[in-house]
């Protein structure tokens, strides 16, 4: 099988990083050196960074919902699949602190990440009506490129470059990295999530996340694995 790999650096943004992020992931900046090693690798045909890029009225923000069911992290609301024109489909949406609002410092990629070698930046979660953890589709599986959800059809961009393998890293491992990796696998790419190049919001749940990834045909590897060495060492 041919090997034309892409790197997807997920949501390494100020709001997801200590010390000042509104939705900071513990140890979020600890993975920067490894991510930058991957970004520097000439083996990757394409290097993508993603950004949550939410409007102020995004459905996931707790402040956009009335009390008492508006507690960040703890509260859930029912969301309909309005974007896909299937309102009979619903899902539970966890509410979050306001984060990664468009054109704010919190939405910027942290300065420690070397963006000079990034080829594409995918801005996602721009449709206020639906969550979008994955850089491929929203939480209902809708491809919303061109309709406000995401600025680029990532699957199509990867296929245009004849990418065969995708390596996912970044924040948070149990949400946007996980869902982006699963989206990559569903799109037909051999997909790896590099375990020591991610941090979780809830590290205690990582074993369940790994089981979900395995079920979705995503291989969880680390930087010492043969697959990672193939891109790190050329």
Q: Which residues are catalytic?
A: 11, 124, 176
Name beta bridge partners: 169: 9
How many other β-carbons are positioned within 10 Å of the β-carbon of residue 232?
17
Q: Is the peptide bond before 68 cis (omega within 30 degrees of 0)?
A: yes
Exposure string over 52-83, b if 16+ CB within 10 A, otherwise e: bbbeeebbbbbeebeeeeeebeebebebebeb
Tokens representing 126? 């721009």
4 three-state secondary structure: coil
**Cα dihedral value 133, 139, 142, 148, nearest 10:** -50
The rounded distance, in Å, linking the Cα atoms of 99 and 60 is 10
The rounded distance, in Å, linking the Cα atoms of 110 and 29 is 9
DSSP-derived secondary structure for 75-136: -EEEEEETTTTEEEEEEEEE-B-S--BTTSGGGSBPTTS--TT--EEEEE---TTS---SSS
């Amino acid at each position: 099988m041919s090997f034309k790999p892409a790197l997807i650096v997920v949501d390494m943004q100020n709001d997801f990083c200590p010390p000042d992020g509104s939705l900071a992931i513990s140890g979020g900046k600890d993975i920067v050196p490894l991510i930058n090693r991957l970004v520097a690798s000439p083996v990757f045909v394409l290097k993508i960074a993603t950004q949550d890029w939410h409007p102020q009225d995004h459905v996931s923000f707790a402040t956009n919902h009335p009390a008492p069911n508006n507690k960040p992290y703890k509260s859930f609301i029912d969301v309909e699949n309005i974007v896909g024109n299937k309102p009979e489909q619903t899902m539970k949406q966890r509410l979050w602190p306001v984060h990664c609002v468009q054109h704010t410092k919190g939405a910027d990629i942290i300065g420690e990440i070397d963006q000079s070698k990034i080829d594409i930046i995918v801005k996602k979660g721009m449709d206020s009506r639906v969550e979008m953890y994955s850089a491929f589709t929203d939480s209902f599986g809708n491809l919303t490129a061109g309709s406000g959800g995401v600025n680029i059809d990532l699957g199509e961009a990867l296929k245009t470059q004849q990418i065969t393998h995708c390596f996912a890293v970044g924040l948070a491992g149990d949400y946007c990295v996980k869902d982006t990796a699963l989206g990559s696998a569903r799109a037909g790419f051999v997909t790896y999530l590099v375990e020591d190049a991610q941090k979780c919001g809830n590290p205690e749940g990582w074993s369940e996340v790994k089981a979900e990834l395995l079920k979705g045909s995503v291989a969880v590897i680390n930087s010492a694995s043969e697959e990672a060495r193939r891109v790190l060492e050329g």
